Amino acid sequence: MANHRAQLAPPSGRRRSLSDPLAAALLPPPNESPEQRDRRLRAEEEAKKRSDHIDRMIKENEKERRRKKIVKVLLLGQSESGKSTTLKQFQLLHTPAAFHAERIAWRFVIYLNLVRSIRRILEAISPEPETAPGLDDYDDMDYLEPAAIIISSNGRPSSAVAGASVPGYDSYRRQLAPLRDLEQRLIQQLSDPEDNESRQAIRLPCPPYNGHGHSPSLSVPSSARLTGDAARPLPRISIPPGSSVSGGTHGASSSPVALSPGHEIAVHSTSNWRKAFALGRNQSPKSAHGGELQGWWEDPHDPVHVLNRCAPVMIDLWRDPKVRQRLAEKRLRLEESSGFYLDEIERVTAKMYFPTDDDVLKARLKTNGVVEHTFSLPKTSEYRGVEWKIYDVGGARPQRQAWAPYFDDVNAIIFLAPISAFDQVLAEDPRVNRLEDSFELWKLVVSNPLLSTVNIILFLNKCDLLKKKLENGVRLNQHMPSYKDRPNDYDSVSKYFRLKFGAMHHTFTPNKSRECYIHLTSVTDTRKTQTIISNGKWFRDAP
Ligand SMILES: Nc1nc2c(ncn2[C@@H]2O[C@H](COP(=O)(O)OP(=O)(O)OP(=O)(O)O)[C@@H](O)[C@H]2O)c(=O)[nH]1
Ligand SMILES: [Mg+2]
């Protein structure tokens, strides 16, 4: 650029070759007067000044571009390992205003989580045989709430244990019947929010997955490897379809939940979904005019009214010792999935309920595809100027084929292994133990040659649940015989997992000098997680 401009404004008097047509065109006119010559020289000087200024700006921009690093972080791990929750922690830490502005958008997701937990309890206490499926029925059951499937000591999913009806079942079922319709409405609203793009909500068939008991390989398809972003699938968020309700057992409905199992409801990108609900689907006249907080509680059709009316019965159901006993017999631990809100029914179903940060962190919405989140660190940060791109992927098996296209263009991977899940099986394949699946995935990631120079950070997650589980007497060696007769306390077990995952990295990494940063985490714990995120050495060292 600089050379080209200098040619356009040459110092006068320099000899030029007349064979060069450009030089010939720039020659002063043959009978130029002294005034014309002065004007021409002044114009040439001005042009050179402008040209030099542009050159300086180009150089500055180039310097700035080089200074401004883009760090790409990929969140990996099986479904329900805590990837989206970790992304939420990044958002809360670095873009708190945006996170807070979006909190209201999570209201319907939280309602749906609560309603589904109630439905799972009703199914568990029901005497009907279809609520106690056998192992063979699991082939097509990716719609089950995943963490609900616990392996009992006889090796069968515990929810397969049948039982007689719990006293009061009929009354609970009758009084909570409005929640069935509400569940359908919530799913319909979440999959069809009132904004243009989300109107395109579509029903996606699950991509084929043909393996039982084996993880698919994480190789990059050749088409994807070549083309970078263009080969990446569109980001989507999916709402796991309902089980018996969505299977259509409660009559025909135009709702998208009336899908056969194995199909997912998807809406375009998180931002559209959040935007649609942040605006409020049911605004009261007051909010529409005054720009005040939406007064959804004034809208008689808002879901909060059904929930509010059913709240006392929901509380009774959850507190009923007979119900708790049945859940224990079936080893259904709702607190390990979306059951968190069961302890908060009164607050969550209040008419003016506004989700807290914690509620949003614990809200469960399955990710389908890959969601990208970009943020720059604040000017005061020592990492100012660094732009972070975090990719949150769907972790269920049919989703994993979407990971590989991101491998050749990433700086760091945060891999989440939920170590509390040693007695659980995958929702998408109940023949596979969740911990085994995490080991398998970890091995595939750390051994992948495309990732050999990528920083690897391992979050051994759900330590809070692990602690509780061990304290409740669940023994690791019953599910993982290699643990032998080591002590079954939290310190020993967590240390064992740390060593085991660390040793696997050491054995399988193609880059023996790579350091692997391992953290024991509970990513729903904001204080601890944010300390790890901001102090992590891996964060400073990101290439
Ligand atoms: N108690 C507890 N719950 C957690 C922890 N990490 C995640 N969860 C909860 O587990 C559920 C699943 O977490 P997500 O972050 O949605 O899981 P994910 O890995 O994104 O799952 P997919 O999107 O299906 O791949 C959510 O309800 C979280 O609140 C944890 O450390 N402790
Ligand atoms: Mg997710």
The residue extents of the domains of the chain are: 72-96+365-540, 105-362
Q: Record the tokens describing residue 274, joined without a space.
A: 């959040």
Ligand 1 nearest-atom number relative to CA 335: 1
How far apart CA 533 and CA 536 sit, in angstroms, is: 6
Q: Is the CB of 89 under 6 A from ligand 1?
A: no
Question: What's the pLDDT at 225?
Answer: 35
Tell me if 500 is assigned to a ligand binding site: no
Question: What's the pLDDT at 317?
Answer: 96
* 0.95 surpassed by complex ipTM: yes
Q: From the CA of 361, which ligand is nearest?
A: 1
Question: What's the pLDDT at 357?
Answer: 94
Report how far ligand 1's centroid is from the alpha carbon of 290 (Å): 37
The preferred substitution site among 75, 78, 80 for testing ligand 1, maximizing ligand atoms within 8 Å of CB, is: 80
Q: Is the CB of 256 under 6 A from ligand 1?
A: no
The number of CA neighbours under 13 Å toward the Cβ of 158 is: 21
Q: Output the tens digit of pLDDT for each of the chain's 543 residues.
A: 434 443 333 444 444 445 666 666 667 778 888 898 899 899 999 999 999 999 898 888 767 655 667 888 999 999 999 999 999 999 998 889 989 988 998 999 999 999 999 999 999 898 865 443 433 333 333 333 433 344 444 444 444 445 567 888 999 999 999 999 999 998 888 775 544 333 333 222 233 333 333 333 454 333 333 333 444 443 344 433 332 222 222 332 333 222 223 333 334 444 455 665 654 444 444 444 444 445 778 888 899 999 999 999 999 999 999 999 999 888 888 877 667 899 999 999 999 999 999 999 999 888 888 988 988 766 655 556 678 889 999 999 988 998 999 998 899 999 999 999 999 999 888 899 999 999 999 999 999 999 999 999 999 999 999 999 999 999 999 999 999 999 999 999 999 999 999 999 999 999 999 989 999 999 999 999 999 988 766 655 555
Q: What is the CA radius of gyration of the chain?
A: 30
Alpha helices, DSSP H, located in 27-156: 34-67, 83-94, 96-102, 107-125
Q: Is the CB of 465 under 6 A from ligand 1?
A: yes
Question: What's the pLDDT at 32?
Answer: 85
How far apart CA 161 and CA 155 sit, in angstroms, is: 12
Tell me how many degrees the CA angle 254-367-184 measures, rounded to the nearest 5.
Answer: 25
Say how far residue 181 (Cα) sits from the centre of its chain.
28
Q: Is the CB of 411 under 6 A from ligand 1?
A: no
- Cα separations (Å) of 2 from 24, 51, 55, 322? 20, 7, 6, 83
CATH 3.40.50.300, domain 72-96+365-540, yes or no = yes
Tell me if 364 is assigned to a ligand binding site: yes
At 337, is the secondary structure helix, strand, or coil?
Answer: coil
Question: What's the pLDDT at 338?
Answer: 62
Q: Is the CB of 395 under 6 A from ligand 1?
A: yes
**DSSP code for 333:** -
